[in-house]
Amino acid sequence: MSALARSEPFPVPEIEITRMRRRHLRKILSIEGRVYPRPWSAGLFLSEMAQRGTRSYIVARCEGEVVGYAGMMFLPQEAHVTNIAVDPDFHGRKIGTRLLLTIISEAIARGSDVISLEVRVSNEPAQEMYKKFGFSVSGIRKGYYIETREDAYVMEADHAVSEDYRARLEIIETELEVFEGGGR
């Protein structure tokens, strides 16, 4: 467990969200290896990061250390979450929520009205987070995760550019501010 990770939820460390850079890859690959049975390679991350017009990758840092990351692919009027992961030592600190809020806000700014992703059928904590963001199951991909032969739910959030969806994001942002301020 890193010196920054604590077993108690308080105090909530300050999290900085910034663009993913090549220098972050060592820690990103470490997190990948801890959370995914078949992690992405450095080459794949570099290839994705090079496609700046259609991809966006961000990291969450705590006291300078990368503790999570997320990526998104942009299509005309649609966006797809390519990956999102948080260092297991930092779970429960709403870092995934911060990352998702940031990339969804970018998707909306780029005019994406539909946002999609895949999630393991067994990953109920992630599904609950996605539901807070208005995602619902729109399909299933049988055997999507090759290494475990596990199915994936396809989840989508529609009407992301609507006022109702923006209000949902404002509520999530307010909840994050309360959480970070020490309240629950």
Task: Flag the least confident range among 6-10, 13-17, 24-28, 65-69.
Answer: 6-10
Residue 131 inside a domain? The answer is yes
Q: Could you identify the residue written with the tokens 């999102």? A: 84
98: domain CATH number is: 3.40.630.30
Residue 156 a catalytic site member: no
pLDDT in tens, 130-147: 999 999 999 999 999 888
Q: Is the pLDDT of residue 149 over 60?
A: yes
Task: Output the pLDDT for position 1.
Answer: 47
Report the alpha-carbon angle 24-52-128, nearest 5. 70
Question: Quick one: CA dihedral 160, 170, 51, 26, positive or negative?
Answer: negative
CA distance 78 to 158: 9
d(CA 70, CA 26): 15
Q: Is residue 9 part of a domain?
A: no
182 — pLDDT class (breaks 50, 70, 90): low
> How many Cα neighbours within 13 Å face the side chain of 8?
3
Q: How far is CA 48 from CA 12, 17, 27, 110, in A?
A: 31, 18, 17, 18
Residue 3: is its pLDDT beyond 80?
Answer: no
Kindly give the pairing relationship between strand 136-145 and strand 114-120: unpaired
Has residue 2 been placed in a domain? no
Looking at residue 14, what is its pLDDT? 86
| Average pLDDT of the segment spanning 29-50 | 94
Q: How confident is the model at residue 95 (pLDDT cuts 50, 70, 90)?
A: very high
DSSP one-letter code for 76: T
- Give the pLDDT confidence of 156-174 residue by residue, as tens digits: 999 999 999 999 999 999 9
**8 lies in some domain:** no
- Identify whether 27 is part of a domain: yes
Residue 85 covered by a domain: yes
Q: In b/e form, how buried is each residue of 55-67, taking b as 16+ CB within 10 angstroms? A: bbbbbbbbeebbb
Is the confidence at residue 104, as pLDDT, over 60? yes
Catalytic residue, from 57, 69, 130, 165: name it: 130
More confident residue, 112 or 7: 112
Q: What is the CA radius of gyration of the chain?
A: 16
Question: Using 50, 70 and 90 to split pLDDT, how confident is the model at 33?
Answer: very high
Domain of 98, in residue numbers: 15-180
Q: What type of residue sits at position 45? A: F
Domain count across the chain: 1
* Residue 165 among the catalytic residues: no
**Predicted TM-score of the model (pTM):** 0.89
Structure tokens at 85: 């992961």
Give the mean pLDDT of the chain.
91
> Per DSSP, which regions of the chain are E strands?
15-19, 55-62, 65-75, 78-86, 114-120, 136-145, 150-157
Query: What does the block give as tokens for 134?
Result: 């208005």
Does 26 fall in a domain?
yes
- Interacting residues of 133 by C-beta distance below 8 A, sequence separation 6+: 100, 101, 104, 157, 168, 169, 172
Q: Which one of the listed residues 118, 153, 156, 165 is annotated catalytic? A: 118
Calpha distance 97→130 (Å, rounded)? 9
- Residue 153 is assigned to a structural domain of this protein: yes
